[in-house]
Amino acid sequence: MRLILLGPPGAGKGTQAKLLTGRLGIPQVSTGDILRQAVAQGTELGREAKSFMDRGALVPDEVVIGIIEERLRKPDCARGYILDGFPRTLPQAEALARALTSLHASMDRVLSVEVPEEDLVKRLTGRRVCRGCGNMYHVDTSPPRKAGRCDTCGDSLYQRDDDKEETIRHRLRVYKEQTQPLVAYYEGLGLLERIDGQGTVEEISQRVHRALG
Ligand code: AP5
């Protein structure tokens, strides 16, 4: 299955993608994770991406399109994948369509996860991520058993540089201007399902499953 998770920052795309990966046995392909890894490794890509990411702007289309074209050719994507955070602009969606055509493949479903803006801000300001395994926590709604430490691997938790309130508000504006138009684009292609992203992680996971049949 080839699937896109669309939705604003903090909608829970990463959380649901990780659950789906476990259940469907296909990889989560997150452009945000790929870019953050490049930043952490100090590669040329990371240095270029960092200035955009830190201020909540989108990394230029040609950069992320190149990353995705390379990633989708890897063997673990042969049986399908969950795209998390890509595409985010119309040129990215069109490039994805061309890449799929060249691989004789097509998109199966696009899920748009919808959450009110004030909830998104609360989710993101409280998010903490494990340095070791990438597990996600929230200081109020899903805190770790031991403060600042991952329940799974024991590594330390950190706050993403772009999870400061001012940057979050900018990311939400960028989403409305540049990414939200993709909801209508995929609706027009008959691929879109809207998912109510409010409720517990498990409730949303069940909605996702119902939407995927
Ligand atoms: P990216 O990493 O993709 O970030 P994002 O889209 O802003 O999404 P988030 O990871 O912030 O949120 P999410 O929806 O995955 O929510 P999560 O599950 O983590 O991109 C970062 C940056 O990289 C971009 O700003 C841009 O600069 C660049 N970039 C990436 N892709 C790009 C592209 N294609 N083009 C150009 N630039 C690109 O959950 C959030 C929090 O909420 C967590 O704490 C979680 O525990 C909690 N939570 C989850 N579900 C629930 C629930 N049901 N109830 C309560 N809390 C919940």
Return the residue whose CA atom lies nearest to atom 34 of ligand 1: 86
For residues 135 and 129, is the Cβ–Cβ distance under 8 A?
yes
- Tell me what the mean pLDDT of segment 61-71 comes to: 95
Which of 4, 5, 6, 15 maximizes ligand 1 atoms within 8 Å of its Cβ, making it the mutation to test the pocket? 15
| Rounded-to-integer distance, Cα 180 and Cα 161, Å | 23
For residue 171, what pLDDT is reported? 97
Percent of the chain with pLDDT over 90: 97
Q: Residue 47: its pLDDT value, please?
A: 95
In the block, tokens 């929230």 appear at 138
pTM of the model: 0.95
What would the DSSP string read from start to end of 128-141? EEETTT--EEETTT
Task: Answer for the pair 162, 54: CB distance below 8 angstroms, yes or no.
Answer: yes
Which is catalytic among the residues 2, 71, 128, 171?
171
pLDDT, residue 92, reads 98
Q: Is 55 a catalytic residue?
A: no
Instruction: For residue 59, name the pLDDT band (cuts at 50, 70, 90).
Output: very high
Residue 213 has pLDDT above 90, yes or no: no
pLDDT band of residue 66 (cuts 50, 70, 90) is: very high
**What whole-number distance in Å separates Cα of residue 64 and Cα of residue 165?**
25
pLDDT at residue 144 in the model: 97
Of 50, 71, 88, 123, the active-site residue reads 88
Neighbours of 210 (CB within 10 A): 10
Distances (CA, A) of 177 to 58, 90, 181, 183: 11, 11, 7, 12
The model's confidence at residue 143, banded by pLDDT at 50, 70 and 90, is: very high
**Average pLDDT for residues 62-69, to the nearest whole number?**
95
pLDDT exceeding 70 applies to what percent of the chain? 100
Q: Which tokens go with 185?
A: 């684009």
Whether 199 shows a pLDDT value over 90: the answer reads: yes
Average pLDDT in the chain: 96
Average pLDDT over residues 70-83: 95
Q: Which atom of ligand 1 is nearest to the CA of 137?
A: 46
Residue-wise pLDDT for 85-106, tens only, equals 999 999 999 999 999 999 899 9
Active-site residue, 122 included: no
Tens digit of pLDDT for each residue in 159-186? Answer: 999 999 999 999 999 999 999 999 999 9
The pLDDT of 48-69, averaged and rounded, is 95
* Residue 99, both tokens: 């890449």
Report the pLDDT value the prediction gives residue 3, as an integer from 0 to 100. 98
> Which pLDDT belongs to residue 119?
96
> Within 6 Å (CB) of ligand 1, which residues are found?
7, 9-15, 31-32, 35, 52-53, 56-59, 64, 85-86, 88, 92, 123-124, 127, 136, 138, 141-142, 162, 171, 199-201, 204
- From atom 26 of ligand 1, which residue's Cα is the shortest distance away? 58
The answer to whether 122 and 55 are in contact (CB under 8 A) is no
